[in-house]
Structures are given as structure tokens and as C-alpha cells.
Amino acid sequence: MTESLADPHLRFPAATAAESVRDIVILGSTGSIGTQAIDVVVRNPDRFRVTGLSAAGGRAGLLAEQAHLLRVDRVAVARPEAVPEVREALSALYGAGEPLPEILAGPDAATELARSQCHTVLNGITGSIGLAPTLAALEAGRVLALANKESLIVGGSLVKAVAKPGQIVPVDSEHSALFQALLGGAREEVRKLVVTASGGPFRGRTKRELASVTPEQALAHPTWDMGPVVTINSATLVNKGLEVIEAHLLYDIPFERIEVVVHPQSYIHSMVEFTDGSTLAQASPPDMRMPIALGLGWPERVPDAAPGCDWTKAHTWEFFPLDTEAFPSVGLARHVGDLGGTAPAVFNAANEECVDAFLDGKLPFNGIVDTVAEVVAEHGTPAVGTRLTVADVLEAETWARARATELAARAAKATPEARA
């Protein structure tokens, strides 16, 4: 095995005795990850100081409240048209004569913020738009607390070429669990990674039964409170497929040694099996503040980041094999990961368009993964040995989005019988 991007045995950069308060930049601050990260920071003012926040701009009031609460130096807004509303909201909170934070605006604002002076950048942006900020943070030598799995998945070799070993600390609960469990042995002693899945709201349903699923049903996740795209991805298990690709890239473990198992209670977040037959699992109640705090504080843990397991009560934890017929997304993701190149970008972009089509009532639930598979097949096999560039990724994504939209529009005209 080569050195991995997220090796818990490596501490990058090394903690120093002089370091007391760690400067943090939070990308995607008004989303689920960002708001929980701010909760961790506010409860630990002696450990963390936020110097910059970025958001799309749709929740200007919340962004202004966060900036005022944390007294940040800079705020980045992806939508320039949101700047007047953000500035007005900031002005209403800051005292007369008190300087407002600098406001960066435009599609490159988060990228500029990601390379600013700080210790750690938490990338909590949703979607592949997080790729440029991920690359910027790594190139600037920052520790990257990575919640934006898409940037690693679509960037692939681009990210691996820039990141130093151990520079990335994963924030996804599954990859944080693997990160922690891997401390239990040497890398050459790892037999397999076991990624757990809640199974989403439709665990146990057949593919035929899934044909009539509505957006309202798919958005009702039994365990996690997430944004709409991630919630639908959890219902289709596309999210788990993306996590398999991410685990492969983070830990340099072959796809055939990464297994998915359904665990409805979501207390065991993932496991590592070692060559002697021992399996180490990381367990905690489903609360993202724990992996977020580990991402911000590594190599030190943040006390009381989230509640632990209550061992005074009885627990039943179940495990089931993945139903690959009802949920073919994980197998498709493995195939895409094996293809490499721009194939993961095509997979991710097509899925995002298909999720939107499903939420708009233009595509049936099963049509999400079926359409993504069709787009991936049309894309074909990337040229072996071709060096991946950001332009390649963007071009592949543009094509995949357009083609997925075309196929979804065609499916919208189909009869209910044909859809099923």
C-alpha cells in the first residue's frame, strides 16, 4: 500500500506547545455541517477561533448572525446578488462605527477564503463545487477537515497529487470511524474496511415496491437530519456508493476489500477488519458533532463534543447484508471508481440532476439510479494514462448534467407502466 491521504498515524502539521487557539475557516457555514461545526466552536472558545465563513447566500440573515457571533474577519458569498442583503443584515447586528467583516463575492469566493491564513479548513459545501476550495486549501498547506466527499470523488487524482500524506482528516461519520479504527493496527495488517449504512427509509423494500416512492417519503430519513440532496442520496444508497469511492481514495484500499453492511441503528459508524480476524468498530450515538470536532481538533479529541452511548440501557444493534437488486447504486459506484478518470464526476453530476428531477416529480425513484447508470454507460471508459485536469472534470460534469436532464425529460413523458 502507498501512503494514504487520511492516515491517522500521521499528524499534519505537527501540533506545537505554543498553539493554544486554532484558527478555523468554515465553508458551507449555513448548512447542516456548518451550523453544527459552529456549535462545537462556540462551546470551545479556548480551542477554536473562526476567521472566515462561506455560504451560497440564500440564508443571508443566518450568515450575518454567525459572522457577528464569531467575530470573523471575512465572509464569502457565492451569489454576488446576495451581497446587499448580507451587508444589510451585518449592519443591523454590528454597532455604530464597528467595522464589518470583509465580504468576498462570486463563484471563486469560497476558494479564495480556503487559501487564507488559518490552521484548518472545514469544507462542508455540498456537491462538486467544493473541488476548487479543497484544492486551494491543500495547496496552501492547510489541514483539510473534509465533509465535502464529492470534491475528493470527482477530483480523484487531482486531489491525491496535491495532498500530503495525512493532510486530510475526514468528517463523514463513516470515514471518521474508519480513521479512528485504523489506529488499532499497522496499515499492512488491514484486511478490509466495513462501511455501515442505515439502509435509509426504505430498508427491506423490493425494487418493485420502490417504484411508487414519493419525494416526501424519501426525504423522511429515520436517523439523520441532512439537506435534501444528501437525504435522497441516502434513500437510494448513492451516498453509500460515494462513500465507498471516498474510502478507496482516502485509505488506498482496493474496492474488493471495502464492504457495505446495513446497520439500521446507526450507532456503529464503520469498522476495520484486520488480518488476524479482529474487527474494530467505532460506536457513538448518531450525532455529527463528534466527527466534526475530531476533524477540527485532530490529533486531540474535544471533550464532550457530543453525547456518548448510554450503557445503563439495553441496546440491540442489527446488521444485514446489502440488497444489491433493490439498491444497485453501490455496485455502480464500484464500477465507476474502477473506471477512474472523469467517470466519478459523471456519476456524481448525473445523480445530482436526477435527484432534482425526482424532487420535481419528473423522474420516478428507481429512475434516479437507472438514469445515472445510463449516463455512465454512454460516457464510456476514460482513456488510460491520461492526466486528469480540472477542465476535464468540468467538461465531463457539464455533459453529464445535460444528458441526465435529457433522459429525465424523456422519462417524464413515459407512462406509469413503462416507468415501473
Are residue 247 and residue 265 in the same domain, yes or no?
yes
Following DSSP, what letter does each residue of 235-248 receive, concatenated? Answer: HHTHHHHHHHHHHH
Give yes or no: residues 121 and 222 share one domain: no
List, in sequence order, every residue forming a beta bridge with 48; answer none if it has no partner: 22
Report if residue 5 sits inside a domain: no
Report yes or no on 14 lying in a domain. no
Return the pLDDT at 420: 47
Please say if the pLDDT value at position 61 is more than 90.
yes
Co-location of 295 and 365 in the same domain: yes
My answer on whether 259 and 150 are in the same domain is no
What integer best gives the mean pLDDT of the chain?
Answer: 93
For residue range 4-24, list pLDDT tens digits in order. Answer: 889 998 877 655 545 689 999
- Each residue's pLDDT tens digit, 272-327: 999 999 999 999 999 999 999 999 999 999 999 999 999 999 999 999 999 999 99
For the annotated binding site, the residues are 30-33, 56, 148-150, 172-174, 198, 221, 227, 234, 239-240, 243
Do residue 78 and residue 170 come from a single domain?
yes
Give the domain-ending residue among 176, 194, 229. 176
pLDDT in tens, 245-286: 999 999 999 999 999 999 999 999 999 999 999 999 999 999
Total-model pTM: 0.92
Does some domain include residue 8?
A: no
Q: In this structure, is residue 403 part of a structural domain? A: yes
More confident residue, 341 or 417: 341
Same domain, 185 and 156: no
CATH code for position 88: 3.40.50.720
pLDDT at 10: 85
Q: Is the pLDDT of residue 144 over 60?
A: yes
The answer to whether 244 and 180 have CB atoms below 8 angstroms apart is no
Binding residues for NADPH: 30-33, 56, 148, 150, 227
419 pLDDT more than 60: no
Q: Do 87 and 121 lie in a common domain?
A: yes
* Tens digit of each residue's pLDDT (9 = 90 or more) over 163-194: 999 999 999 999 999 999 999 999 999 999 99
In a domain, 163, yes or no: yes
Note the pLDDT tens digit of each residue in 344-354: 999 999 999 99
Residues contributing to the annotated binding site for 1-deoxy-D-xylulose 5-phosphate: 149, 173-174, 198, 221, 234, 239-240, 243
Tell whether 231 is covered by a domain: yes
pLDDT band at 230 (very low <50, low <70, confident <90, very high): confident
Asked if the model's pLDDT at residue 2 lies above 80, the reply is no
Structural domains in the chain (count): 2
Q: 165 with 198, same domain? A: no
Distance CA 174, CA 185 (A): 18
- Bridge-partner residues for 246, per DSSP? none
Given 176, 210, 239, which residue is the final one in a domain?
176
First-to-final CA distance of the chain: 44
**CA–CA distance, 54 with 75 (Å, rounded to integer):** 6
Is 17 among the domain residues?
no
Q: Which three cell numbers stand for residue 52?
A: 472566515
Domain range holding 253?
177-419
Q: Does 155 share its domain with 263? A: no
Backbone angles phi, psi at 172, to 5 degrees: -50, 140
pLDDT, tens digit (0-9, with 9 covering 90-100), for 193-223: 999 999 989 999 999 999 999 999 999 877 6
Look at residues 129, 151, 176 and tell me which one is the last residue of a structural domain: 176
Annotation: binding site for Mn(2+): 172, 174, 243
* 11 found inside a domain: no
